[in-house]
Amino acid sequence: MSSYYSRSPPPLQHPVPTHPAFIPEPPSTPGPGSPPQGYHRYQPQPHIPDFAAWGMNDSTAQFGMQLGQSAVAAGHEYVQKNFGGFIPLSHLKHHFNVSNSYVMKKLQILFFPWRHRPWSRRVRRSEAGHTEWQPPRDDINSPDLYIPLMAFVTYILISALQTGLQDRFHPQILGASASRALVVLLLDLLFVKGGCYLLNVQSSSQVTDLVAYGGYKFVGVILTLLTGLVNPSRTIYLLVFSYAFAANAFFLLRSLRSVVLPDLSSTTTPVTVSHAQRKRRITFLFLEAVMQVIYMGILIRV
Amino acid sequence: MASRRLHKLTSRSSLEGAVNTGGVTPSYGGSIQQSGGWWTAFGTGGFEGEPPLLEELGINFSHIQAKSMTVLNPLQHVDEHIMDDADLAGPLLFFFCFGMLLLLSGKPQFGYIYGFGLLGSISIYTLLNLMSDKGIDVYRVVSVLGYCLLPMVGVGAVSVVVTLDGVLGYMLSILSIIWCTYAASGIFVAVLRMSDQRLLVAYPVALLYGCFALLSVFNVGAGRAGVGR
């Protein structure tokens, strides 16, 4: 409840209050001793109905309301304590800290990754001792969650539009394509995480980074679906799909390279891998990039 | 008559009795003192010190009009504090008008309007809180989205007379989506003091208003496909 009040709007620009009026002093003051106590106990709470007229003692009503409020506060605290740590909010906010120019440039890279030069992420100034990645605003190579989220929603809407144009729209198409997309994302994430675990990759990235990398494939899928909407010939459609797959695979190869393969130039990781290990990791990367064609093929089958 | 007067006397004395004996627990928690029982609300006398009805409900017509003018004229500079009072009366009125106009044009889709509005508002609320440094509460988001629906209500009024399922209708709908999105993203960026993120706010808002435009152009029936005809 207190958080609501800390975010409540500042004093209004028009003189009319939008909440019920608080009149601190009742028109007929009761007894000699009670005005100071009346002020003492005045709390800014919403309008309490006059229970005395209903036959209930008002102090009981007050007590009941206090009990209710403390119960709500306790429940809120319980949820915060047990479930607040699952989705670290500040970490999520880091991935949404994007700007217009970042999104434009990132989309350019997603559609044409061949000429992009440095793929390494930039490290930020160390506050309180630990180094962290720069936010997407400042670092074009940092994965964000805005583009994957928007691409996911756009994919659902475009698949609904396509079914509508083919005269087979039904509201359950929205749920079906949403769950199909989520399952594909989950499979991709499990594959990458499982591969990293089996190959003993030390610096496996955060889950949100991997979800972001997995979500970038929706951009290529949307491009393919959009060309499908204008009803081109089969070869053009397949050509666009192959280009989208190739661009996505190349993008993933370059981005995951810094995750899976140790960066030999960085000074923070003293870990060295043997030649056989390195070959195995490169094979894993290629496998992951090739699997994208399966995922994208599932996604374009609306 | 006599029994009512007797009842009033006893109720009043019971009030005073509670106050006089309970010096530790006062019976007034800051609410308006009601000198009668609850039935005086239905009478013509009213309570002492009662504010006028519109003021108590928080409906201020001049303010609603000022905010609507801001939406209809998006080229002017948006004041940061214009949406501070988060009033929901205007948006409710606009949503209701939108639904009624669609009903008059043969498309009763109140359920879809409610569903899209609720889902879209919650999504935009989550996204804006993740994207900006300064948070926003959900009532303000609903208020802004409701006010910026006004151009689409205008297009809905047109759809009563002329069907929108043609090239002119498509143009008009796209224009209204652009207008609504421009106004809404301008207000959000001004209120949340976001830098360089207007297009990023505009895209999901445009998707939401696109859904509303789909409702007003096509007849979204359950099962029967009306899209694309």
ipTM of the complex: 0.71
pLDDT tens, position by position, A234-272: 999 999 999 999 999 999 998 888 777 766 555 555 567
pLDDT at residue B95, rounded to an integer:
92
Average per-residue pLDDT for chain B: 79
CB A105 within 8 A of CB A222: no
State the average pLDDT over residues A83-102.
78
Does the CB of A51 have a partner CB in chain B at under 8 Å?
no
Question: Does the structure show a pLDDT above 90 at B31?
Answer: no
State the average pLDDT over residues B19-39.
53
Please state, for a pLDDT cut of 90, what percent of chain A lies above it: 29
A 10 A CB-CB count for B15 gives 20
* Closest chain B C-alpha to A124 CA, distance in angstroms: 19
State the average pLDDT over residues B170-188.
92
Provide the CA A178 distance to its chain's centre, in angstroms.
16
Give the chain A residue whose CA is nearest to the CA of B132. Answer: A97
B66 in a domain, yes or no? no
Give the chain B residue whose CA is nearest to the CA of A163. Answer: B227
Amino acid letter, B112: Y
A 10 A CB-CB count for A111 gives 15
pLDDT at residue B56, rounded to an integer:
80
Residue of B10, B16, B32, B63 to mutate for A, most A C-beta atoms under 10 A: B32
DSSP state, residue B79:
P
Asked if the Cβ–Cβ distance from B140 to A24 is below 8 Å, we say no
* Closest chain B C-alpha to A100 CA, distance in angstroms: 5
CB B123 within 8 A of CB B204: yes
* Closest chain B C-alpha to A183 CA, distance in angstroms: 21
Q: Which residues of B touch A28 (CB under 8 A)?
A: 33, 35
> Which residue has 């421009």 as its token pair?
B182
Question: Does the structure show a pLDDT above 60 at A36?
Answer: no
Compute the residue count for chain B. 229
State the average pLDDT over residues A208-226.
92
State the average pLDDT over residues A128-139.
78
- pLDDT band of B32, cuts 50, 70, 90: low
Does the CB of B126 have a partner CB in chain A at under 8 Å?
no
Q: In chain B, how many domains are there?
A: 1
Out of A96, A146, A164, whose CB is closest to B228? A164
Closest Cα partner for A143 from A295, A286, A264, A259? A259
* Closest chain A C-alpha to B151 CA, distance in angstroms: 23
pLDDT at residue A25, rounded to an integer:
53
Q: Facing residues of B87 across strands?
A: none
Of A5-19, A92-106, A196-210, B8-22, the range with the highest mean pLDDT is: A92-106
- Lowest model confidence (mean pLDDT) among A154-168, B28-42, B81-95: B28-42
pLDDT at residue A3, rounded to an integer:
47
Give Cβ neighbours of residue A29 (< 8 Å, ≥ 6 apart): A35
Residue B198 lies in domain: 87-217
Question: Does the structure show a pLDDT above 70 at A125?
Answer: no
* Helices of type H across chain A: 2-6, 34-40, 58-83, 89-95, 100-111, 146-165, 172-198, 207-215, 217-229, 234-260, 275-300
User: Which residues of A, range 101-160, sit inside 8 Å of B by Cβ?
Assistant: 101, 103, 137, 146, 149-150, 153-154, 157
Q: Is A127 helix (H, G, I), strand (E, B) or coil?
A: strand
B188 in a domain, yes or no? yes
State the average pLDDT over residues A14-30.
54
B168 in a domain, yes or no? yes
State the average pLDDT over residues A195-219.
84
Q: Which residues of B touch A97 (CB under 8 A)?
A: 131
- What is B27-41 written as a DSSP string? S-SSPPPPSS-GGGG
Half-sphere exposure of A280 (CA within 13 A, CB side): 12
Asked if the Cβ–Cβ distance from A96 to B127 is below 8 Å, we say yes
The span from the CA of A208 to the CA of A95, in Å, is 8
Does the CB of A44 have a partner CB in chain B at under 8 Å?
yes
Q: Facing residues of A127 across strands?
A: A130
Question: Of residues A196 and B20, which shows the higher confidence score?
Answer: A196
The span from the CA of A243 to the CA of A221, in Å, is 11
Q: Which residues of B touch A151 (CB under 8 A)?
A: none
- Lowest model confidence (mean pLDDT) among A114-123, A148-157, B30-39, B80-89: B30-39
B4 in a domain, yes or no? no
- pLDDT band of A61, cuts 50, 70, 90: confident
Give the chain A residue whose CA is nearest to the CA of B55. Answer: A16
Tokens of residue A77, six digits: 């605290």
Residue of B27, B50, B137 to mutate for A, most A C-beta atoms under 10 A: B27
State the average pLDDT over residues B202-209.
94
Out of A7, A45, A96, whose CB is closest to B137? A7
Give the chain A residue whose CA is nearest to the CA of B228. Answer: A165
Tokens of residue B103, six digits: 């009903």
Question: Of residues A275 and A84, which shows the higher confidence score?
Answer: A275
Q: Which residues of A touch B28 (CB under 8 A)?
A: 26, 30, 38
Q: Is A118 helix (H, G, I), strand (E, B) or coil?
A: coil
CB A17 within 8 A of CB B55: yes
User: Which residues of A, range 174-233, sit inside 8 Å of B by Cβ?
Assistant: none
pLDDT at residue A274, rounded to an integer:
81
Asked if the Cβ–Cβ distance from B200 to A100 is below 8 Å, we say yes
Please state, for a pLDDT cut of 70, what percent of chain A lies above it: 72
Closest Cα partner for B187 from B225, B130, B222, B140? B140
Does the CB of B3 have a partner CB in chain A at under 8 Å?
no
Does the CB of A62 have a partner CB in chain B at under 8 Å?
yes
Asked if the Cβ–Cβ distance from A99 to B195 is below 8 Å, we say yes
B177 in a domain, yes or no? yes
Give the chain A residue whose CA is nearest to the CA of B64. Answer: A14
B103 in a domain, yes or no? yes
The span from the CA of B106 to the CA of B1, in Å, is 54
B117 in a domain, yes or no? yes
Asked if the Cβ–Cβ distance from A100 to B196 is below 8 Å, we say yes
Please state, for a pLDDT cut of 90, what percent of chain B lies above it: 31
* Closest chain A C-alpha to B56 CA, distance in angstroms: 6
Does the CB of A29 have a partner CB in chain B at under 8 Å?
no
pLDDT at residue A241, rounded to an integer:
93
Give the chain B residue whose CA is nearest to the CA of A14. Answer: B63
Question: Does the structure show a pLDDT above 90 at A218?
Answer: yes
The span from the CA of B95 to the CA of B101, in Å, is 10
Question: Of residues A19 and A255, which shows the higher confidence score?
Answer: A255
B136 in a domain, yes or no? yes
* Closest chain A C-alpha to B84 CA, distance in angstroms: 5
pLDDT at residue A31, rounded to an integer:
45
